Amino acid sequence: MSSPQSFPLAHEDSGGLDGVIKLAIMAVGGQGGGVLTGWIEALARTRGYACQATSVAGVAQRTGATIYYIEMARTGPSQPVFALAPAEGDVDILIAAELMEAGRAIMRGFVTPDRTTLIASTHRALAVSEKIAPGDGIADASEVHAAAEVAASRFISFDMERLATENGSVISAALFGALAASECLPFPRRSYEDAIRSGKTGVEASLRAFNAGFAACSFGNVPAPPGEAQFQSVPGISGPKNLCERWENLASKVDDLPESARPLAMAGLRKVVEFMDLDYGEDYLGRLAPFASSDTGVDDHALTKAATKYIANAMAYDDVIRTADLKTRGSRATRIAREMDASPDDVLLVTEFLHPRAEEIVGLLPDGLGRRIERDARKLAWIDRWFGKGRRLRSDRLGPFILLYLLGGLKLYRRRTRRHAAEQLHIDRWLRRALEVAAKNSALATEVLCCRRLIKGYSDTHARGISKFDKILGLVERVESRPDAADWVRRLREAALKEEGSEELDQVTEAIERL
């Protein structure tokens, strides 16, 4: 958070505005803000209030941020003069149909501590700018929560989107329920329900979501926000007895590591064993050991923790075999049926979109043969022509399923593949470099390990990741002798994760070269 912004408090007590209720709805186009506005208007008019609503329809609304604005007052000697748009410091009730829209309302001064009740759904509809970053570009929700606590006179928030979906309706109904429960408007609950009933479609579902929103709000029955990610450090396992015994034995070695690194190491061990076998798990712990022993314990064993995480990710690389294995597991079919909300009476057809390129095919070949083909551009092109095309496999059918099933069963053969050899070489070089650095600068070694985060995706994306990774590792030498070396590497990595291109990465690189 940078410098705090300030808004003037409305400089009147109530001026000539006794009895006017000002309500703004901040929504994302397509969320049903118009329906909610219609309900509120109908509600006010049937309760003998004069009411006026405005909105901005059209292209300006399509999936973009939009505002609906409503004013109402008890009917008097003549028609009241209402404003057509919300004004800073002058909104009584602000309904935000999404968390960042609540943030936008606060930013624009529509939420002020002297008067505004903020009713916000805590769910997120991510903006395009948050989604396109190659890393984690999601805006920090806690900042909006913190600001709302300061800016609003009352802050009512919970995940109304989930509540609405669970009741087969849309968010506008849940928001309407929360508005009713907030008792900001001088109308009884029954009149809200009547307003919904006066609509034409989806009355029953809307009423269910309305009731759920009302209950969640008035009885403090607010579903808890998802807490910190909890993971089981020791997963339950099953399998042949001998394998289980070996696993127990292997898992017990994790106890040799610093305590704070153990949960991560256990997850890492599980990942590599699942990827290949117990021997590979053995290799994993072997690769981890030198980092644990050269770790001085700085920063709560940051070096060991980084090693457990990124060595596991590097060893369980994404290849055809892993993809085929994951696509043919029993748990997957269950998950898809659940996600698609399919009942047992429905039939589910599943189509996979695969586009293996020559590189992936060659990666599956034995190392020697693969290496020879890689060197021959003509052969590579030939393979690409015959095999490297988009394939749509109906994995609910037996033929395609068995093809994937057989590919997924090649785990033990994998050790002999070209891809495996290449990956191991790359891992060893990277870890060697990290260990060299660790002897002198533990923080820098941690950063070198963390750079593995850049390598992800498939084909072009993977290649771009590798090139950024190599570029940063190449720059380590330049900064190695500096006390702030770790900082520089972190900056390089963060820049690389921000965008698909490398504009920002190049800027940091230039800065380093000027040092």
Partner 1 sequence: MAERSFNTEVEDLRLGAGETFTGEGILAITKALLESGVGYVGGYQGAPISHLMDVLADAQDVLDDLGVRFEANASEAAATAMLAASVHYPIRGAVTYKGAVGVNVASDALANLSSSGVNGGALIIVGEDYGEGSSIMQERSHAFAMKSQFWLLDPRPNLPSIVQAVKQGFELSEASNTPVMLMVRIRCCHVTGQFETAENIPPPLTVRDALANPRKDFHRVVLPPMSYAHEKDKVENRWPAAESYIAEHKLNERFGPDGGNVGIILQGGMYNGVIRALQRIGLADLYGQTDVPLFVLNVTYPLVGTEVLEFVEGKKALLVVEEGQPDFIEQTVGSMLFKAGVQTRLMGKDVLPMAGEYTGHVLLDGVTALLKAAAPDMLPSRVRSPNQDAAEVPDLSKTVPTRPPGFCTGCPERPIFAALKIVQHELGEHQITGDIGCHLFAALPPFEIGGSTMGYGLGPASNAAFGAGGEKRAISILGDGGFWHNGLSSSIGNMVFNRSDSVAVIIDNYYSAATGGQDVLSSRASNPTKATNNPISAAVRGVGVTWVREIDRTYDVPRMCDVFREALTTDYQGPKVIIASSECMLNRQRREKPLRNESIKAGRRVKVPRFGVDEDICTGDHACIRLSGCPSLTLKTVEDPLRDDPVAHVDQTCVGCGNCGEVADAAALCPSFYRADIVYNPNKFERWRAGLRARTIRWLQRRREQKVLIFEATE
Contact between residue 404 and residue 354 where contact means Cβ atoms under 8 Å apart: no
User: Can residue 203 be called a binding residue for partner 1 (CB under 8 A)?
Assistant: no
> Do the beta carbons of residue 97 and residue 209 sit within 8 Å?
no
Structure tokens at 410: 């090649």
Binding residue (CB under 8 A) for partner 1 from 35, 36, 47, 89? 89
Q: Is 387 among the residues that bind partner 1 (CB under 8 A)?
A: no
Reading phi first (left if > 0) and then psi (alpha if -120 to 50, else beta), residue 370 is in alpha
First to last CA, the chain: 29
- What is the separation of C-alpha 467 from the centre of its chain, rounded to a whole number of angstroms? 25
How far is it, in rounded angstroms, from Cα 446 to Cα 486? 8
CA dihedral 160, 166, 170, 175 (to 10 degrees): -30
Q: Which residue, 144 or 364, is less far from partner 1 as judged by CB?
A: 144
Q: Is 202 in the site for partner 1 (CB under 8 A)?
A: no
In the bound state with partner 1, the residue whose beta carbon lies nearer, of 237 and 511, is 237
Strand ranges of the sheet holding 49-54, from the earlier edge strand across to the other edge: 49-54, 65-74, 21-28, 93-96, 117-121, 154-158
**Of these, 178, 179, 312, 448, which contacts partner 1 (CB under 8 A)?**
312
Distance CA 103, CA 139 (A): 11
Judged by CB under 8 A, which stretch of 172-180, 205-213, 237-245, 296-304 contacts partner 1?
Answer: 237-245
| Shortest spacing between CB 359 and partner 1, in angstroms | 10
d(C-alpha 149, C-alpha 134), whole Å: 32
CA gap 46, 6 in Å, rounded = 39
Cβ proximity to partner 1, 22 vs 418, nearer residue: 22
Task: Give the shortest CB-215-to-partner 1 separation in angstroms.
Answer: 23
Binding of partner 1 at residue 92 (CB under 8 A)?
A: no
259 contributes a contact to partner 1 by CB under 8 A: no
Q: What part of residues 172-201 is at the interface with partner 1 (CB under 8 A)?
A: none
Q: Of 136-144, 182-190, 415-423, 439-447, which segment contacts partner 1 by CB under 8 A? A: 136-144
Q: In a 3-state reduction of DSSP, which class is residue 371?
A: helix
Query: Quick one: 238 or 296, whose CB is closer to partner 1?
Result: 238
With tokens 């269950």, the residue in question is 334
Nearer to partner 1, 244 or 425 (CB): 244
CA dihedral 127, 128, 132, 138 (to 10 degrees): -10
- Least distance from partner 1 to the Cβ atom of residue 459, Å: 4
Q: Which of 259, 346, 510, 513 binds partner 1 (CB under 8 A)?
A: 346
Place of tokens 């579903």: 223
By the rule CB under 8 A, 263 interacts with partner 1: yes
CB of 376 to partner 1, least distance (A): 21
Number of residues that bind partner 1 (CB under 8 A): 164
- Choose, by CB under 8 A, the member of 35, 120, 125, 496 that binds partner 1: 125
Could you count the other beta carbons within 10 Å of the beta carbon of residue 487? Answer: 14
4 binds partner 1 (CB under 8 A): yes
Least CB distance from residue 285 to partner 1, whole Å? 15
Nearer to partner 1, 139 or 222 (CB): 139
From candidates 289, 336, 421, 512, binder to partner 1 by CB under 8 A: 336
Contact status: 439 vs partner 1 (CB under 8 A): no
Please identify, among the stretches 206-214, 269-277, 375-383, 440-448, the one whose residues bind partner 1 according to the rule CB under 8 A.
Answer: 269-277
Q: Quote the CA–CA distance of 330 and 454 in Å, as a whole number.
A: 31
Mapped onto helix, strand or coil, the DSSP state of residue 12 is coil
DSSP letters for 270-286: HHHHHHS-HHHHHHHHH
Q: Is 220 in the site for partner 1 (CB under 8 A)?
A: no
- Binding flags for partner 1, 483-512, as an x/- string (CB under 8 A): --------------x--x------------
Question: For the window 26-65, what string marks contact with partner 1 as x by the rule CB under 8 A?
Answer: --xxx----------x---x-----xxxxxxxxxxxxxxx
Separation between Cα atoms, residue 235 and residue 232, nearest integer Å: 6
3 state DSSP class of 492: helix
Considering the complex, state which of residue 235 and residue 474 has its C-beta at the smaller distance from partner 1.
Answer: 235
